Amino acid sequence: MKITFEGASRQVGRSQFELDTGELSLLLDSGVARSEENLPQPPSRQPDAIILSHAHLDHSGHLPAFYRGAKMPWLTTFPTPPIMGTLWPDSIKVVASRKEQPVITEKDLKAAAKHCVTLPLGEPYSFFEGTTATLYDAGHILGSAQTLIESHGKKLLYTGDYNCEQTRSHHPAKPPTKGVDALVIESTYSNRDHAPRGEVEETFIASVKAAIENGNALVPCFALGRTQEILQVLEAHGIKSDVWVDGMGQNITLTYQDFPSYVSDAKALSRAVASAQFVENHVQRKKLAEGRGNVILTTAGMLEGGPVLSYIERMNASQRGSILLTGYQVEKTNGRRLVEEKMIKYNGKTLSVGLPIEQYDFSAHTGKTKSFDYVRKIAPEKVFCVHGDPAVCEEFAENLRLEGFDAHAPKIGEQFEF
Instruction: Provide the phi-psi class of 301: left if phi over 0, else alpha when psi is between -120 and 50, else beta.
Output: alpha
- Nearer Cβ to Zn ion, position 210 or 412? 412
Q: Is 246 an interacting residue with respect to Zn ion (CB under 5 A)?
A: no
| H or E element at residue 249 | helix 249-257
Identity of the residue, 144 or 251, whose beta carbon is nearer to Zn ion in the bound complex: 144
User: Does residue 284 contact residue 314 with C-beta atoms inside 8 Å?
Assistant: no
Helix (H, G, I), strand (E, B) or coil at 348: coil
Report the residue number, 139 or 176, with the smaller CB distance to Zn ion: 139
Q: Find the part of the chain contacting Zn ion (CB under 5 A) among 83-91, 161-169, 281-289, 347-355.
A: 161-169
Residue pair 298/246 in contact (Cβ under 8 Å)? The answer is: yes
Stretch of residues binding Zn ion (CB under 5 A), selected from 119-127, 155-163, 298-306, 370-378: 155-163
Does position 150 bind Zn ion by CB under 5 A? no
At residue 106, the 3 state secondary structure works out as: helix
108 part of the interface to Zn ion, by CB under 5 A: no
d(CA 322, CA 304): 18
Residue whose CB is less far from Zn ion, 58 or 229: 58
Q: Are 148 and 177 in contact (CB under 8 A)?
A: yes
Binding positions for Zn ion, 260-299, rule CB under 5 A: none
Using rule CB under 5 A, residue 161 touches Zn ion: yes
Residue 370 within binding range of Zn ion, rule CB under 5 A:
no
Asked if residue 170 binds Zn ion (CB under 5 A), the reply is: no
Tell me the closest approach of the beta carbon of residue 49 to Zn ion, in angstroms.
21
- The smaller minimum CB distance to Zn ion, of residues 320 and 365, is found at 365
Write down the least CB distance from residue 185 to Zn ion, Å: 12
Q: Which sign does the torsion angle of CA 51, 54, 59, 63 carry?
A: positive
Q: From CA 128, how far away is CA 119, in angstroms rounded?
A: 16
Residues numbered 336 to 365 that lie near Zn ion (CB under 5 A) are none
Cβ closest to Zn ion, residue 308 vs residue 386: 386
Q: Does 58 bind Zn ion (CB under 5 A)?
A: yes
Q: Binder to Zn ion among 14, 56, 155, 370 (CB under 5 A)?
A: 56
In 46-137 the beta strands, taken as DSSP E runs, fall at 49-51, 74-77, 116-119, 125-127, 131-137
Which of the stretches 52-60, 106-114, 213-221, 354-362 binds Zn ion when contact is defined by CB under 5 A? 52-60
In angstroms, the CA 64 to CA 51 distance is 12
- Contact residues toward Zn ion (CB under 5 A) are 56, 58, 161
